[in-house]
Amino acid sequence: MEFEVTQLFPTLIGHFRIPDAELTNEKLQALILAEEADYSSLGRSNIGGWHSRPDFLNRQDNGVSALTSWLSWGIRRMINATVGEDGFQGTLSLSGWATICRTGAYHAPHSHPDSAWSGVYYVDPGTKNPDQPLSGVLEFLDPRAGVEAVTAPGDPYGEPSRVRPQPGLLVIFPSWLYHWVHPYTGQTPRIAISFNATQAPVREVNAPTPGLRQNSAGVAAAAVFPNLFSVQPARRSHHVDSPIIR
């Protein structure tokens, strides 16, 4: 007699280091620092840091265009991993914004309402602080209500998952998943680009051609049609990337 165990309610998180990202990151860093000098932060969840306008992916810049292509690629794979290659036929609108954290800045716990997938790309993780190992670390909170009140053998429930930023690292996660960033204590700016992917209304799709385009709100829309890419089913893991700290 075989005892079967079923995994319920998995939370899939994708991660990928973009190859040869140094030149793209240099361009993005220069663009973001220039924008920081040009206007004040929009605030939002970034406490003590700088938050750009939400139309960053619309910049006419080679670095932004290259990054947007990778974001579309990654989101396509997350969709395939969750619903299969034929599970979604439509278009997703991408909106993105840049953030800068200097010493003392952090991101308060939050989610991204009204979106399907969200994520972050690290342009520059800043510098490490040996005295503060969680400096600038991204932390995902266990979404299951009540797990913090349960004691079980091995304490398998309620533990957060943490991601240490690396240059060129792309992380994609469900928009409803609460997360935050530990206070940054490095000496150089920690620079990242966050984004949301939202299912676009049919009226915003002008032509069935994969690529980047504007929707009615002026937000970049990247077509992600079935069979555009192939992907292997994601394997569930509590960890997102090897440098995660428990």
CA angle, 5 then 80 then 10, to 5°: 30
One-letter-per-residue 3-state SS of 144-173: CCCHHHCCCCCCCCCCCEEECCCCCEEEEE
Identify whether the C-beta of residue 139 lies closer than 8 Å to the C-beta of residue 180.
yes
Q: What is the CATH number of domain 14-142+159-199+211-223?
A: 2.60.120.620
Query: Residue 69 is encoded by which pair of tokens?
Result: 């292509």
Question: Would you state the pLDDT for residue 202?
Answer: 55
pTM surpassing 0.95?
A: no
Question: Would you state the pLDDT for residue 203?
Answer: 56
Q: 43-52 pLDDT, tens per residue?
A: 778 899 999 9
Query: Residue 187 is encoded by which pair of tokens?
Result: 């000496």
Query: Which portions of the chain are predicted below pLDDT 70?
Result: 201-246
Q: At what angle do helices 62-83 and 22-38 cross, to 10 degrees?
A: 110
**Under 8 Å CB-to-CB from 40, ≥6 apart: which residues?**
none
